[in-house]
Structure 1
Amino acid sequence: MKKVLVIAGFTALFSCSVLADDQGGLKTDAAPPSPHAMDKGYRGMEDAQGMTVVQAKAMHDGASISLTGNLIKKTGEDRYQFRDKSGTLDVSIPLAVFDGRSIQPDQLVAINGTLDKKQKPAVMKVDHLQKQ
């Protein structure tokens, strides 16, 4: 008899949360603030445009980096040379990251990825590319 009462009590306790209104989650009835109006949080590639190749090369292995500049030449199957105002860096960009887009050497691009300093010279493994 006690087991039946305990099971009935637990069932009643857990079923109350099922009957509660769904109040949580994202509410889409208001527009988000524009990126320049935000004080904190991730705002996209625009925040990282101050980083240069020289600064990126000085960072630790595995660091997340964002750069703005030009892809100036292809040096291997998925290897390219990236240049900004401070210097050049070898980057690895899989074909899937291009997502069907064609990039010309005179087009400004922003790239995000991680730094691999185990390779000599250091290589940036790009996981996001955006035309500027």
Structure 2
Amino acid sequence: MKKVLVIAGLSAVLSLPVMADDQGGFKTDAAPPPPHAMDKGYRGMEDAKGMTVVQAKAMHDGASISLTGNIIKKTGEDRYQFRDKTGTLDVNIPLAIFDGRKLSPDELVAINGTLDKKQKPAVMKVDHFQKQ
């Protein structure tokens, strides 16, 4: 009987620090940021590691890519041809992404988006572009 009481007492004393530990997990006491302050995980053009067209084409379907170069011509409604020093890549840039900004083939741009390798040839769906 004494052994049972000793074991029960020790287990109660040893489990107290475990119950008091509030270090990990999801905490509900912090308020979420307002919707206008959320940036969907986007880090910005200056934080993105640039790559070349050749490197981008070697990536997997759905990969996030960042390229710097020139948009040299329009090939469809939202389809353009992008070129850097290593090659060309078809890019899909919806009119909303331009946001009223004008762009000419001699202007250097940085573009961010995802690679769609299901289409042949591969196409980059642009989410953001910035003039350099």
What is the TM-score of this pair, normalised by structure 1? 0.66
Once the 2 structures are TM-superposed, how far is the Cα of residue 25 of structure 1 from its aligned partner?
Answer: 7.9
Find the aligned partners of 2:97 and 2:115 in 1 and give their Cα distance. 16
Aligned to 2:128: 128
Q: Percent identity?
A: 85
AA of the residue aligned to 1:109: V
Q: Deviations over 1:76-116 (max 9, x none)?
A: 00000000011000000000000000000000001000000
Gaps of 5+ in 2: 1-29, 34-41
Gaps of 5+ in 1: 1-22, 27-41
Find the aligned partners of 2:49 and 2:107 in 1 and give their Cα distance. 16
AA of the residue aligned to 2:44: G
Could you say if the C-alpha distance between residues 49 and 109 of structure 1 is closer, same or farther in structure 2, counting changes exceeding 3 Å?
Answer: farther
Aligned to 1:85: 85
| SS of residue matched to 2:54 | helix
Runs of 4+ in 1 over 4 A off after TM superposition: 23-26
Aligned to 1:70: 70
What is the TM-score of this pair, normalised by structure 2? 0.66
Could you say if the C-alpha distance between residues 24 and 118 of structure 1 is closer, same or farther in structure 2, counting changes exceeding 3 Å?
Answer: closer
User: Do residues 102 (structure 1) and 99 (structure 2) align?
Assistant: no
Q: For 1:13-28, what aligned pairs fall within 5 Å after superposition? A: none
> How many positions carry a matched residue from both structures?
97
AA of the residue aligned to 1:100: G
C-alpha root-mean-square deviation of aligned residues, in Å? 2.1
For the 8 Å contact 1:112–1:128, the answer to whether it is kept is yes
User: Do residues 118 (structure 1) and 121 (structure 2) align?
Assistant: no
